Amino acid sequence: MTEPDLQDLAELLRRFGRDECAQEPLYGVLCELAAQDASLLDLLAQAPPPQRKANLLLAALHERVLAGAVPELAAYYPSAGGTRTPDDALAGTLQRAVAQEWPALSRHLREGATQTNEVARGAALWPALGAAARVSGARRLALLDFGCSAGLNLGVDRLRLVYQQDDGRVQERGAVGDEAAARVDTRWLGAASLPEADWQLALRHGVDPAPVDLQDPARLRWLLACLWPHDSRRAERLRRAAQRLQGLPHQLRRADDCIAAIADWLAHLPAGVQPVLLSSWVLYYLTPAELARLRATVDELALRHGLVWIAAELPALSAQALTPPPLPALPAGEVASSATLWTLRWPDGGRIQEQALAWSHPHGRWVHWLG
């Protein structure tokens, strides 16, 4: 790459560290160190343009830590038992780790992809599925997770969803009282009532260019590497959700063209189920042309087959015909820049309707229900 290109990558790293890593100081420091290091910039440059992102480089380093390959660097990672805070020695430690693990890191950058496997999004997905059932008039849902990665969203009804409401009440949904289930604790903001369980998942399917086999320890380790190192609760949730999903009937399909795969999925559904498409933090990775094609395809399939679409994305991506509603007052310490807008699109009388369902934290820490 040219020098200006490398400067752009350095700025990308600095911006990510500044804007996205307030709750992960280690990653903020690593982004700044990488922005100053030619070898790390060269490493990031090996990623295909759609994946040339700071969090892919950070995940690659984290995977080597979790694999036990770089114990000196692992001392800074709570996820590997480390207790050391960033200090003057970190830069040299990072350089040695990169030099030692260059082949594995290079492979991750060239072939890997950051994965959207945030189990706690189930706190908003649960009521969103209820909204899909309501507008369609159907109770038995067939769910297709678009860009599913490991398909953990497909086990939303097997999560123990614990909602802390503003009035102090605590309500549960999903695997109520199940101590072995992955537990999701979330703030339910505002005065809206928490919907009841008026739907069931009859079929669970996912499609992805490279779906993750949870029975492969290396693939599960990669999913864990995509999490922030300090967040042990998220890691434990992921492990438990992965274990529970493996016991559920579900199917993940590999497809080079995931958009085309939607129509094929619909064609093979049995009678008596309502098709629901889910996209959660995946549209960000599509090109503008791919996004336009997806939207046109889904609207066509909605009018022909009754497909309902739940989107959980940044507001510019999830909202198509509507203006995003104002954000609620957020809990102390939360930032608005990465808030997720949940929308619902469905066919009604030969036209496509769209509704804003909820705002949520991207990792499910709070949900403000609108629908």
Give the global pTM. 0.84
Q: Mean pLDDT score of the chain, rounded to an integer?
A: 95
Predicted confidence band at 363 (pLDDT cuts at 50, 70, 90)? confident
> Which residues make Cβ contacts (< 8 Å) with residue 19, sequence separation at least 6?
337
pLDDT at 1: 58
Query: Which of the residue ranges 1-10, 106-115, 135-144 has the most confident prediction, judged by mean pLDDT?
Result: 135-144
Give percent of the chain with pLDDT exceeding 70: 99
Averaged pLDDT for residues 238-267: 96
Separation of CA 294 from chain center: 19
Averaged pLDDT for residues 75-102: 98
CB-based contact 337:330 (threshold 8 Å): no
- Per residue in 215-242, pLDDT (tens digit) is 899 999 999 999 999 999 889 999 999 9
- Euclidean distance between CA atoms 74 and 61, whole angstroms: 10
CB-based contact 35:7 (threshold 8 Å): no
Averaged pLDDT for residues 204-225: 93
Predicted confidence band at 244 (pLDDT cuts at 50, 70, 90)? very high
- Euclidean distance between CA atoms 369 and 360, whole angstroms: 8
Averaged pLDDT for residues 251-261: 98
Say yes or no to pLDDT of 4 above 60: no
Say yes or no to pLDDT of 105 above 80: yes
